[in-house]
Chain A
């Protein structure tokens, strides 16, 4: 059951990711990205990271991508013409990317000791309680530093936006 779900959503994620690149209209691309994030959330859920899965949907799919879509709609961006690269990249691109992915999978499979990979249903520390406890004990410094980074980004955005007003 886990394997079927994994294969389904892994396939959806990859298909959405390919569609994201192939689409010419920004809205279609943005929504493909939402599809990728949604299927990633299901994969997190399968691995036992229920809080991360919910946060993925709420934050990425529900907030950040909505803003992307909002801006694309506001600017009324049109579909872009398909820009074809040189002939060499068109013919060699797909075989090379398949080779690269195969090589990566082979190396990871070789380097990793047997049994070190993830397994469905083995991980149980993914509830909001566990994640919260970890965030405020083991990872409190990175957590706080990240929040300050985000604050800096917000301040930067405010400063940049203010220049245009006066």
Chain B
């Protein structure tokens, strides 16, 4: 009974955190893009536009849900449903931290530890092509159809180097379970170089990590590989004909896929929940320091306000940051929170990279996109895999 209760609580917490971070990821993306382009970004709804995601959700839910007369009656509503289902299901196998004990009950910081978690993630990502392909086809619109054809060709092509890049760390971890892959990266060389798979002897996966990142951009249909929804060629690509919550579902799926694939990258290459330097050097106090610094900065700006209303709002923000920082310092909570902090920090860093790239790089041409993966990325990933296999075999027992 305890097990079921704990699993239910974990599922609830993960779902809540995932859905909230989905909404705020979009806010963060709009803010980051705006600052890259020397704009302010969302600023009207709430302080610094912080309530903008809520406003967007209300707007999307109350919009008219249009069903165009020329669409396929079954597949048109089915495609966004499939997209959002597949993208949310993937989070179930992602571990966020080590095994901990809650009120005497040992439990994993993960919904379920599958023995073939990596294969599960690859299977889900290969199925998510259907949502995009069907959405475009069922819309019965030439732009949508072109978008979905591009999407299916692109996602199949980039899945190859992605899977090849995934196999190399698997060889080093000797496991398909995401938890064991994460645990294989604990510890440090010479006391300070982390044993993450990007650094781990005998085959540092720097090239593998870069291949994975590039393929991840294409798998999530993000710039510079967002050909399926290229605005200036295809209106909005595969989701041109979708309105209201159906459109929102595709959006949710895109952001959820981004979270999953960056978490996957963190697990495979960046040492999962392990800190970048040893606890002996105070890595447990980094989150405390980060949040206390944030509290100090917002308190300073509250005392010297740029606008009148900041005098009241910023000290409250400062107090919230202070409370979070103190929570990270409490020894009992530290064992739960610190691994999650490092995991979230690494995942967030890659997510920031996604947004940074979107703000700075132009879109590829379609033939360049295909040529890049088949003529460059795929051979490179095969070479990386062969090299890793050889080195692991030579250095192994």
Q: Are B126 and A50 in contact (CB under 8 A)?
A: no
Query: Known contacts A50-B116, A51-B119, A58-B122: does B152 contact A34 (CB below 8 Å)?
Result: no
Q: A58-B123, A67-B156 are in contact. List 20 more A-B contacts (CB 8 A).
A: A27-B137, A51-B116, A55-B119, A57-B123, A61-B123, A61-B126, A62-B123, A62-B129, A62-B159, A66-B129, A66-B130, A66-B156, A69-B133, A69-B152, A70-B152, A73-B145, A73-B149, A74-B149, A76-B145, A127-B115
> B152 to chain A: which residues have CB within 8 Å?
66, 69-70, 73
Number of interface residues of B (CB under 8 A): 23
B75 at the interface (CB under 8 A from A): yes
Closest to A74 in B: B149
**Using a CB-CB cutoff of 8 Å, which residues 95-146 of chain B contact chain A?**
115-116, 119-120, 122-123, 126-127, 129-130, 133-134, 137, 145
Q: Given the known A-B contacts A34-B130, A50-B116, A128-B176, are A70 and B149 also in contact in the complex, defined by CB atoms under 8 Å?
A: yes
B9 interfacial by beta-carbon distance below 8 Å: no
A63 close to chain B: CB less than 8 A: yes
A17 at the B interface (CB under 8 A): no
The residues of A that contact B149 with a CB separation of less than 8 Å are 70, 73-74
Asked if A12 lies at the interface with its beta carbon under 8 angstroms from chain B, I say: no
A70–B156 alpha-carbon span in the complex (Å): 10
Residues in B with CB closer than 8 Å to A50 are: 115-116
Residues of A with C-beta under 8 A to B126? 57-58, 61-63, 66
Closest to B176 in A: A128
Which residues of chain A have a CB within 8 Å of any CB of chain B?
Answer: 27-28, 31, 34, 50-51, 54-55, 57-58, 61-63, 66-67, 69-70, 73-74, 76, 127-128
Most buried by A among B119, B120, B122: B119
Are A54 and B119 also in contact (CB < 8 A) when A61-B126, A62-B129 are?
yes
Q: Is the CB of A70 within 8 A of B153?
A: yes
B90 to chain A, nearest CB (A): 13
A73 touches B148 (CB 8 A): yes
Bound-state Cα–Cα, A10 to B58, Å: 41
Q: B170: nearest residue on chain A (CB-CB)?
A: A128
Query: Which residues of B does A touch, CB under 8 Å?
Result: 74-75, 115-116, 119-120, 122-123, 126-127, 129-130, 133-134, 137, 145, 148-149, 152-153, 156, 159, 176
Please, which residues of chain B bring their CB within 8 A of the CB of A57? 123, 126-127
Q: Are A27 and B75 in contact (CB under 8 A)?
A: yes
CB distance from B154 to the nearest CB of A (A): 11
| Contacting residues, chain A, for B176 (C-beta < 8 A) | 127-128
List 7 contacting pairs A-B, 8 Å CB cutoff, sorted by A. A54-B116, A54-B120, A55-B119, A62-B126, A62-B127, A66-B130, A74-B149
* Smallest CB separation, A72 vs chain B (Å): 9
Cα–Cα distance between A136 and B133 once the two chains are bound (Å): 37
A54, B159: Cα distance in complex, Å: 15
What separation, in Å, do the CA atoms of A31 and B145 have in the docked complex? Answer: 17
Q: Is A70 within 8 A of B122, CB to CB?
A: no
Residues of A within 8 A of B74 (CB): 28
Q: Which of A27, A54, A69 has the most CB of B within 10 A?
A: A54
Query: When chains A and B are docked, how far (Å) is the Cα of A66 from the Cα of B126?
Result: 9
User: In angstroms, how far is the closest chain B Cβ from the Cβ of A126?
Assistant: 10
Shortest beta-carbon distance, A114 to chain B, in Å? 32
- The answer for the CA separation of A50 and B133 in the assembled complex, in Å, is 28
* Measured CA separation A128–B137 after assembly (Å): 36
- A66–B156 CA distance with the chains assembled, in angstroms: 8
Return the chain A residue nearest B128 by Cβ: A62
Q: How far is the CA of A76 from the CA of B148 in the complex (A)?
A: 13
* Closest B residue by C-beta to A57: B123
Contact (Cβ within 8 A) B116 A70: no
Cβ distance A1 to chain B, nearest Cβ, rounded Å: 14
User: Looking at the complex, which one of B116, B129, B153 makes contact with A128 (CB distance below 8 Å)?
Assistant: B116
Residues of chain A lying within 8 A (CB to CB) of residue B122: 54, 58, 62
> Considering residues B123, B127, B129, B153, which has the most beta carbons from chain A within 10 angstroms of its beta carbon?
B123
* Measured CA separation A70–B176 after assembly (Å): 30
Q: Please give me the 5 A-B residue pairs with the lowest Cβ-Cβ distance, nearest first.
A: A62-B126, A54-B119, A57-B123, A70-B152, A58-B123
Is there contact, CB below 8 Å, between B133 and A66? yes
Complex: A53 Cα to B341 Cα, angstroms: 34
Residue of A nearest to B153 (CB): A70
Write out the residue numbers on chain B whose beta carbons fall within 8 Å of the beta carbon of A28.
74
Set of chain A residues within 8 Å of B134, measured between Cβ atoms:
27, 31, 69
In the complex, are the beta carbons of A58 and B119 less than 8 A apart?
Answer: yes
